[in-house]
């Protein structure tokens, strides 16, 4: 393991927090000491509404795509998608779907990920 290697998972479940979350991610990535870190975002609950066709916020999705290109992994809860009637096939390609978001959070934290919730 690299000496300055870190793992962090951001958790967003409120649609109103997208601006803050994306700003936090941007700030993290511009800090030179975070080079090589593993950065993950779990989306569940109401925050997944940004992927619903009639509520889709393309600005957020564009920012997520850029962050994904910079190595940020975006994960979304399938239970949330079902609850919001969003088909996984309709999601942007950079998203990974997990069956249960809260289980994923526990697994990531057990694997040493620091937890951040804006």
pLDDT tens digits along 30-89: 998 888 899 999 999 999 999 987 656 688 999 999 999 999 999 999 999 999 999 999
| Nearest residue to 87 via CA among 46, 47, 40, 48 | 48
Task: Say if CB 70 and CB 40 are below 8 A apart.
Answer: no
**Which residues 6+ apart lie within 8 Å of 1 measured at CB?**
none
Tell me the CA distances in angstroms from 79 to 19, 42, 50, 51, 64, one per residue in order. Answer: 23, 13, 15, 14, 21
Task: Say if CB 19 and CB 57 are below 8 A apart.
Answer: no
Residue 38 inside a domain? The answer is yes
* pLDDT for residue 56: 62
Domain that holds residue 56: 7-116
Domain of residue 62, CATH code: 3.40.1260.10
Provide the number of structural domains found in the chain.
Answer: 1
Residue 77 inside a domain? The answer is yes
Residue 102 inside a domain? The answer is yes
């Amino acid at each position: 393991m690299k000496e300055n290697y870190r793992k962090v998972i951001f958790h967003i479940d409120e649609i109103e927090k997208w601006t803050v979350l994306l700003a936090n991610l941007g700030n993290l990535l511009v800090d030179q000491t975070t080079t090589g870190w593993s950065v993950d975002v779990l989306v569940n609950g109401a925050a997944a509404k940004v992927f619903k066709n009639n509520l889709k916020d393309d600005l957020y999705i564009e920012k997520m795509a850029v962050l994904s290109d910079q190595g940020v992994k975006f994960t979304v809860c399938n239970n949330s998608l079902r609850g919001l009637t969003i088909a996984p096939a309709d999601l942007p390609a950079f998203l990974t779907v997990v069956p249960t978001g809260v289980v994923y959070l526990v697994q990531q934290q057990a694997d040493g990920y620091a937890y951040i919730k804006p």
